[in-house]
């Protein structure tokens, strides 16, 4: 009789303990979500005050601690990213908002406007990168070819034959740059890189 009573009390106590632990976990989760919401509201205010760096930190905290991203957050983060000059990131997040809300969302018009601006900024950034790369490559640098002073011909990959594929099949031509040797001298190689080497 005493053993049954002790087991019953233990079971009731154990069940009460589980419920209490579940309650504590739920309270913690609610507090965490409340803090995330406060941080999001603060980030939105900072965005409105044009304090983009501070807003970015708070948006990132929210994104790291939120279970599912609300569509409005996608818009806010996209707009803030645009103001920070992060065009690619801005395009990604604004596209996400438009995919979720279409043209009927609360921020749809603004999202489309900022998306166009971000895409234009992205095109400019890419063209500047290309221009910078071409400027570096077009300078008169001489590549050191090593102790042999020779380089495998980059036109024919050393095979002395250039293969071209057409809709009629493949055509084979002797490489006009390496003179059936499969390699270029260092001087010829540097001339080829600068576009100065004429075919033989």
For 132-166, write each residue's pLDDT tens digit: 665 555 455 566 777 888 888 888 888 988 888 87
- Burial label for 112, CB within 10 Å (0-12, 13-18, 19+), is middle
> What pLDDT, on a 0 to 100 scale, did the predictor assign at position 136?
52
Q: Tell me, what's the pLDDT at 55? A: 94
Q: Which fold has domain 10-125?
A: 1.25.40
Task: Put residue 180 in one of left, alpha, beta given phi > 0 → left and psi -120 to 50 → alpha.
Answer: left
pTM of this structure: 0.56
Which sequence spans correspond to the domains of the chain? 10-125, 150-194
Predicted confidence (pLDDT) per residue in 96-140, tens digit: 888 878 788 889 899 999 999 999 998 888 877 776 665 555 455
């Amino acid at each position: 009789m005493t053993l049954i009573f002790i087991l019953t009390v233990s079971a009731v106590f154990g069940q009460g303990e589980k419920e209490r632990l579940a309650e504590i976990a739920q309270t913690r989760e609610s507090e965490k979500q409340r803090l995330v919401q406060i941080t999001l509201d603060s980030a939105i205010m900072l965005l409105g005050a044009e304090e983009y760096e501070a807003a970015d930190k708070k948006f990132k905290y929210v994104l790291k601690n939120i279970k599912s991203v609300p569509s409005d957050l996608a818009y806010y983060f996209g707009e803030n990213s645009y103001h920070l000059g992060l065009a690619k990131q801005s395009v990604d997040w604004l596209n996400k908002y438009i995919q979720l809300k279409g043209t009927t969302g609360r921020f749809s018009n603004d999202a489309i406007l900022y998306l166009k601006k971000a895409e234009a900024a992205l095109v400019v950034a890419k063209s500047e990168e290309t221009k910078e790369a071409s400027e570096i490559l077009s300078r008169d640098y001489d590549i050191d070819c090593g102790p042999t002073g020779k380089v495998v011909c980059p036109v024919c990959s050393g095979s002395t034959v250039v293969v071209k594929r057409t809709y009629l099949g493949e055509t084979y031509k002797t490489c006009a740059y390496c003179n059936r040797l499969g390699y270029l001298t260092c001087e010829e190689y540097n001339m080829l890189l600068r576009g100065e080497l004429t075919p033989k």
